[in-house]
Amino acid sequence: MYQRLSAILFPVMTLLFVGSIYWGYQELQEKNSILIKAENQYQRAFHELSYNMEQLHDQLGHTLAVNSTSNNYHRKSLVNVWRLTSDAQGKINQLPLTLLPFNKTEDFLARIASFTYRTAVRDLNKEPLTKDEYETMKTLYAKSEEITKDLQGMQSKVLQNNLRWMDVESALATEQSTRDNTIIDGFKMVDKKVEAYPEINWGPSVSAMFERRSITMLSGTPVTAQDIQQKAAQFLGVSDPGRIKVAENGQSTEYASFTATLEREGGHVQLDYSKKGGQLLRFMDHRAIGAKSVGLSEAEHKARGFLDEHGFASMTAVSYDNYGDTANISFVPKQGNVLIYPDKLTVKVGLDNGDVVGMQAEQYALEHKERKLSKPTMSEAEARKVLNPEFKLMKTREALIKNELSEEVLCYEYTGRINGHLYRIFVNADNGIEEAIEKIPGMGEKQEK
């Protein structure tokens, strides 16, 4: 009996054993194939990064080599620098450097991209390159040469010593990057050099784009936790301020703020205030939201009433986003007949009963002020001539927006349809340039109808 059983089981076990070996071999082959593909991708991205930096350096040299009056060539060359810089940023993003400090170099490239793009898109015949911009490009030319040489040195070592990027990824993932690694050490060296660069004059538009906005920019004197307790109680209509707990965040930093919390049945309410000036930054009602029973028109009406009640008067709804059981409605204030888009705030409404469950007002707190608005140079009819003839105009109004150079510009806002969708087109009221175009989402379309 045992002989018969062995005769049956032996070939079965042999088959299973051989099968498991084959399966293991297949798995190993697939794993090796994936590793090879990843290694090839990393190698290609690294070598292309080095090439992009070399081309970027050369293109900056070309820009400086031509006559100062060669505005057409300057525009073409600066666009190429912007393109090459963007390509270099893309190659960096393909490398396993997320755990490696390389942010200074990435920030440097981002500023080059912004500087060259913003310079190239303006009318260089009317506003040619300034002396300061030439000096900036000379600095970028010299610094890009340093980075290029460092990357080419790393490239030579990688090729000579057959270094693998998978070893870099493994070292970073296992927190072993403190050990000697030519690639890791090379990128650290580049980033350290970039960090030591003297301050470069990027111009006001680029500097404004990278300026760290914080609540220390607010006006007013610092407030105390007791002041916030009173403010929150008044906002929530609570007679006993002692029910509200206040905690200070980021003490003695540029992000110093207070969080006021009220526990109540069905969830808690949270309000964030700036320490400087005691400005309301955020409001959140963490309650459970029931089934949808309120339409968008009623939600907007409730949101507007909420804003009026809490001191945000004369606000105009400009966008609507529906997220299932809630709706986010963005509002901007009006100064005269002009919509002030930089002062935007957003109200979140629960669509079960229309009560407001949230508000984001940080941008409003940072930007809101009384502005001296000039009268448009162009009439609305003149500005309208730049619109596409197929654009079906539905509404026109004046609006103040920030353009690509972070400058506040007065525009005519044209709302209408084209290509089956609803758009807002902002046309500069002084020169007729189309400053911005926004596609209005579905909920916005319903409202505009």
Claim to verify: residue 290 and residue 200 sit in the same structural domain? no
Same domain? For 59 and 187 the reply is yes
Provide the strand spans (E) within 275-324. 280-287, 315-323
Confidence category of residue 95, pLDDT binned at 50, 70, 90: confident
Lowest mean pLDDT among 157-166, 290-299, 388-397: 157-166
Beta bridge partners of 434: 427
Q: Are residues 361 and 424 in the same domain?
A: no
Domains of the chain: total: 3
Percentage of residues of the chain with pLDDT beyond 90 = 34
The predicted pLDDT at position 179 comes to 47
Shared-domain flag, residues 358 and 393? no
pLDDT at 381: 94
Nearest CA among 404, 374, 405, 398 for reference residue 384: 398
Q: Which domain holds residue 78?
A: 20-210
Clarify whether residues 199 and 61 are in a common domain: yes
CB 343 within 8 A of CB 333: yes
Q: Which of the residue ranges 24-33, 94-103, 177-186, 248-257 would you say has the lowest mean pLDDT?
A: 24-33
Query: For residues 378 and 382, what is the distance between their CA atoms, to the nearest angstrom?
Result: 6
Residue 12 falls within a domain, yes or no? no
10 Å Cβ neighbour count for 146? 14
Q: Does residue 86 surpass a pLDDT of 90?
A: no
Residue 297 lies in a domain: yes
Question: What pLDDT shows up at residue 267?
Answer: 85
User: Which among 191, 201, 82, 196 is positioned nearest to 139, based on CA atoms?
Assistant: 201
Examine residue 3 and state whether it is found in any structural domain, yes or no.
no
Please indicate, yes or no, if residue 303 is contained in any of the structural domains.
Answer: yes
Give the C-alpha separation, 263 to 284, whole Å. 12
Distance of CA 175 to the CA centre of its chain: 29
- Check which CATH number belongs to the domain holding 352 and give it: 3.30.310
CA atoms 38, 42, 45, 51: torsion sign? negative
Task: Confirm whether 59 is domain-assigned.
Answer: yes
- pLDDT for 25 equals 55
d(CA 428, CA 436): 9
The single-letter DSSP state of residue 437 is E
For residues 27 and 150, membership in a common domain is answered with yes
pLDDT in tens, 352-401: 999 999 999 998 988 888 899 999 999 999 999 999 999 999 999 999 99
- Domain ends where: 337, 367, 397? 367
Given 154, 179, 210, the domain boundary residue is: 210
What amino acid is encoded at 72 in this protein?
Answer: N
- Are 304 and 354 contained in the same domain? yes
Question: Does the pLDDT of residue 348 top 60, yes or no?
Answer: yes
Domain check: are 339 and 408 in the same one? no
> DSSP 3-state assignment of 449?
coil
Mean pLDDT of 294-298: 90
Residue 158 has pLDDT above 70, yes or no: yes
Residue 201 in tokens = 């004059």
Q: pLDDT tens across 125-143, in order?
A: 888 888 888 888 888 888 8
Can you spell out the DSSP letters for 382-412? HHHTTS-TT-EEEEEEEEEEE-TTS-EEEEE
Identify the DSSP state of 325.
T
Q: Is residue 11 part of a domain?
A: no
Query: Looking at the structure, do residues 348 and 424 belong to the same domain, yes or no?
Result: no
Residues making up the chain, counted from first to last = 449
For 339, which DSSP code?
E
Specify if 373 maps to a domain. no
Using a cut of 0.85, tell me whether the model's pTM lies above it: no
Domain end position, chosen among 210, 227, 242: 210
Looking at the structure, do residues 237 and 206 belong to the same domain, yes or no?
A: no
Q: Residue 58 domain-assigned?
A: yes
Q: Are residues 50 and 172 in the same domain?
A: yes
Are 354 and 305 a contacting pair, CB within 8 Å? no
Q: Do 152 and 290 lie in a common domain?
A: no
Q: Tens of pLDDT along 410-444?
A: 999 999 999 888 999 999 999 998 989 988 875 44
